[in-house]
Amino acid sequence: MKTNIKLFLAAGLIALTSSCTDLDVKPEAQFTEYPNSEAAVEAQMADVYFHLRGTLGRRYMEAQALSSDEWVGISFDGDYADGGIYAQCSLHNFDAGSASTGWYDDVAAGITKANRVIVNMGGEENDATAQARYMRAYYSWILMDSYGDTPILDHLAADGEQIDRSPRADVARWIASELETIIPLLPTNVDVSTYGKPTRYVAEALLAKIYINWPVYTASSVTAYDAASYNNEKLSNVVSLCDDIIQSGKFSLSEGASGYRSKFWPNNGYQIKDFIYAMPYDAITAQGFQYCRPRIWRQGRNDGNGGPGYFGSDIGQSTGGNFSISPEFADVLMALETDDRQENILAGQIYMFDATTYAKTSTPYTYKGEPIVLQKTIRLKNRTDAGQDYYDWGTSPSAYPAAADIFYLNTGKDVAGWSQGYKSVKYFVIREDFINGRNQSNDLPIFRYADILLTKAEAIKRGAPATNGQTAQSLFNQIRSYVNAPNINSEPTLEDIYAERGRELFDENWRRNDMIRFGHFEDEYGFHRKGFPTARFDKECRIFPIPQGTLNTNTNWKQNAGY
């Protein structure tokens, strides 16, 4: 459990569970005069701030991570096949009925909650609604980024009102306008009282994200964006926003941490000065964070003989292991001669970790007495060729795997099958957390200072004027230096920045966003390969299908093109 901070939240004080298209929602305020005490404001806002804790803690992550080149969703002779939803994400063969991309309504419900608070506080003319307006903008951005066209919900829906989707470009412009308006109204203190809540710098970070992706979001269609002809009128705005965050002096790459790894440990929190915005979790009082379950080697709970697993203890619950790092991204992560970030990656021989210090030891991890060695290349089980146990796509074996093994990306239910692909310990697991429904207490970073430095470097490299004596090279080397990686001696290329973003922000839900902007989303990686059955390379896959349940409710909507 966390000992550095306890967040007692008033989740449930606002009983708003309807989606944004629930036409029974009444727009009237609940109070004749809004109670303006600090406690009353917190009671109203808590459910808005933390509404997406469950979605961000699992399903949103699945969609973002598995559709990128970071992770491949595999299965083990039926274990974690789950109807093929993880494999579908990895192959861009998204399904409108998949739980991994089926969280539209949950995000939309957060917008309704924010709008109710805004009404109860007297409307947008009350400057005190700025934080609720930020949450509304943030939730709208999630929908726009992931699903494309979405309603601009700047009010509570009245009885009988038909809700229509707006073009993605219009939604992006509306969100940007909202953020520009509320940035001066948001708090500038960065401390325990604002941790996990919107500040000026949180809004600036989101706006910088929107502006660096401006050509993506404002293209005439999702298929029209071409990274090779990236032309962005907002690059100077990106630099200005980044500069305000940098010059505030409130953030740091290293302060509050003991090296890169510690930023993501179960005891992370407001003391990590790299965190501009994070979602707080606690395995008992603020549940929902379940990143490690699919990332842990399938039997890594223990050693198979009653002893500890590689986390240094028996973590008390079974693990999944159905996410493996793609070979292509493994090469990115392990590319530098020295790099503290590589300590998060389980590559080759797995070693034990100290359960108290979380440090890696020199003791090999064994399962039933045998050391476990992970393979970088992920091979599928081959049932059709008795002379070959596993099939590495592209090796032209005499017979392909069975259709089911391809559909579910099945690697087999044994040590060899479980060991296909590298794993991660970035979000370290402790027994005290995991025994509580496999929940973790690791807070999830959403916007980090390191991201801002790399975003400014990218904007300068793309053509924005350098400011404050900072160049793309100097910003890039700030990142390299603090993780003890080699500095570069010349200006980075855009591909250098893209790769560095991958290493720095691995497993933080930004890779899909980056891949689309840099023009790599339709690349080949993992089993997302041309000629692989069910793999898709259509540009329409840059956004997810609208979930079928959402379409059933909103009968005036049409499914996204390509689905």
Residue 563 tokens, joined: 């689905």
Give 38's pLDDT tier (boundaries 50, 70, 90). Answer: low
pLDDT at 392 > cutoff 50: yes
pLDDT tens per residue, range 229-238:
999 999 999 9
Instruction: Evaluate whether 334 touches 347 at the Cβ level (below 8 Å).
Output: yes
Helix, strand or coil for residue 390?
A: strand
pLDDT tens per residue, range 500-534:
999 999 999 999 999 999 999 999 999 999 989 89
Quote the mean pLDDT of the chain.
91
Cα–Cα distance, 317 to 302 (Å, whole number): 9
- Tell me how far CA of residue 17 lies from CA of 22, 25, 52, 412, in angstroms: 10, 10, 12, 41
Q: Residue 64: how many CA atoms within 13 Å on its side-chain side?
A: 23
pLDDT at 83 > cutoff 60: yes
Least confident of 88-92, 236-240, 386-390, 518-522: 386-390
Interacting residues of 529 by C-beta distance below 8 A, sequence separation 6+: 393, 394, 535
Reported in sequence order, the residue ranges of 280-359 that DSSP labels E, i.e. its strands, are 323-325, 345-346, 351-353
Q: Averaged over 140-166, what is the pLDDT?
A: 94
Residue 485 tokens, joined: 């990686």
Q: Averaged over 58-82, what is the pLDDT?
A: 97
